[in-house]
Chain A
Amino acid sequence: MLVLVIMDTVVVVLLAGLVAGLLRSHADILRALHSLGAGVGDPSAPADPEVLTSDVTTAASPATPLHIGPPLPGERDSWSAHDIEGTDPGGDAVAVSVTHTAHLTLLAFLSSGCSTCAGFWAALGDADHGGLPTDVRAVVVTKGPELEIPAEVRRRAPPATTVVMSSGAWDDYEVPGSPFFVLVDGRTHRRMGEGVARQFSQVVDLVRRARADAEGPDRMPRPGAVPRPDGKAREALNDQELIAAGIHPGHASLYPESLDDVFSGTPDRPEGSRPAP
């Protein structure tokens, strides 16, 4: 009987020691989490200096920001914006100004291989740029030709949207991965916002809100304003009007030889003849 009592006492003492050790370990973990700003419970409790001895300031701070990657140069911060310099998918040189402009620029950091990006490529190729406000310029930025496949980028590039291949831009804007979006205000030369999205409609919604905040009601486009045709639309309209007037390619009136031909009506030359260069 005495032996049983002694064994029982030993077991109880061992279990008590085990529980005390577990509680101590749990407390150490909680203190460490507090010192990283991710703790639960009372965050005002000072961290145990024995837990994190590498940074004295973290011991006194209830929430220490976690930095990933190298520190930014002194002249930059997370709001600074940079012009984009690189090549287009055809290999020609392109520089896009996003600072010192009078408009907002939405930089869409996409890649040709990311499956999530496919919807964004398609949305930017829509006639209405996926519903993006017309006074916001969209620019697609992929990594440079050394890290991308130019032919794939060329295949996905929306015809009316500027596409720049520039690894330097990804570094400048510290892009963590694709897809990633940055909205820059060219008047203040600052980023208005940045982040990721799963659908382009989410990006458009955020852009609209940011623009409304920045510009106020006076700068919004007038309802019912009709844009003037330009570029290909204007060319097509001109062609329609000329054909309707009976002026086809090669018509003599298109090749005046003197001011008299211009101001006195159709020149006296047969259709299809053009002056020597």
Chain B
Amino acid sequence: MVTLEAHGIRARLPLGFEGRIFRRQTVHDEVPRPVAHFATVAIPPDASDFGGGLVTSLKSTDVFVVLFEYGPESVGRALFATEGLPRRLAADHFRPYTLRRGLGGQSGTQWFFTENGRPFTLYAVLGSHARRHSLVAPVNSLLHHLEVAPAAPGRSAIHR
């Protein structure tokens, strides 16, 4: 099982998944935050944060997952009040209209939460809404093996 680790995010990838944990180049005063992409298809190096340039290549057996971190100013906001990364999604959590880009047949879900003092959104896309019951399994397998290090400096241990 391949293990990816960068920017305080560690993922052990289930078979068939590839991944990328990165931070974009700084533009002007912008402070880029870590983004993690995981997919069962090839992830192009120029894929946008929420899968632009990638989701069109999803086939009916594929999945795509994004873990996107927000700035520390978001901690404590109502949107990020949920504590902890969702580890087990249900097929019913996926909706054809919860997609950044509405592509026929696909299905998505998005969650906002705070994990170890770091605000995130998790966005997952299934290549086929009809197959959501089987496709949610590899997504959950990935989520089970995702770890986020605490935000506080000096606390480098990664907790699940």
Contacts and interface: CB of A to CB of B under 8 A. Distances in A.
Q: Do A and B bind each other?
A: yes
Interface string A135-147: 0010000000000
A88 B4 CA distance: 12
A230 interface: yes
A21 B23 CA distance: 74
Interface string A195-225: 0000000000000000000000000000000
Given A88-B22, A95-B19, A230-B57, 10 more contacts: A92-B21, A93-B6, A93-B20, A95-B13, A97-B13, A99-B16, A100-B15, A101-B16, A160-B46, A230-B56
Contact of B53 (A97, A103, A161, A232): A232
Contacts of B41: 101
A260 B70 CA distance: 29
Contacts, number: 77
Contact of A235 (B6, B7, B44, B52): B52
9 contacts: A85-B2, A95-B2, A95-B13, A100-B16, A162-B42, A162-B43, A162-B44, A231-B46, A232-B46
A231 B6 contact: no
Contact of A103 (B19, B22, B42): B42
A234 B52 contact: yes
B88 interface: no
B59 A94 contact: no
A88 B53 contact: no
A275 interface: no
Most buried by A among B13, B41, B42, B44: B42
B147 interface: no
A239 interface: no
A272 B44 CA distance: 34
A93 B21 contact: yes
Do most interface residues of chain A lie in helix, strand or loop, or is the interface mixed?
loop
Contacts of B52: 230-231, 234-235
Interface residues of B, number: 30
B45 A160 contact: yes
Interface in B23-60: 23, 40-48, 52-53, 56-57, 59
Nearest to B5: A93
A11 B116 CA distance: 97
B17 A92 contact: no
Contacts of A230: 52-53, 56-57
Interface in A45-93: 83, 85, 88, 90, 92-93
A163 interface: yes
Contact of B18 (A88, A90, A97): A97
B18 A83 contact: yes
Given A83-B18, A94-B20, A159 B4 contact: no
Do most interface residues of chain B lie in helix, strand or loop, or is the interface mixed?
loop
Interface of A: 83, 85, 88, 90, 92-97, 99-103, 137, 159-163, 228, 230-232, 234-235
B22 A85 contact: no
B23 A160 contact: no
Nearest to B41: A101
Contacts of A228: 56
Contact of B42 (A137, A163, A234): A137
Contacts of A83: 2, 18
A7 B116 CA distance: 103
Nearest to B17: A97
Contacts of B59: 102
A90 B6 CA distance: 12
A88 B47 CA distance: 14
B16 A97 contact: yes
B47 A231 contact: yes
A88 B20 contact: yes
Contacts of B18: 83, 95-97
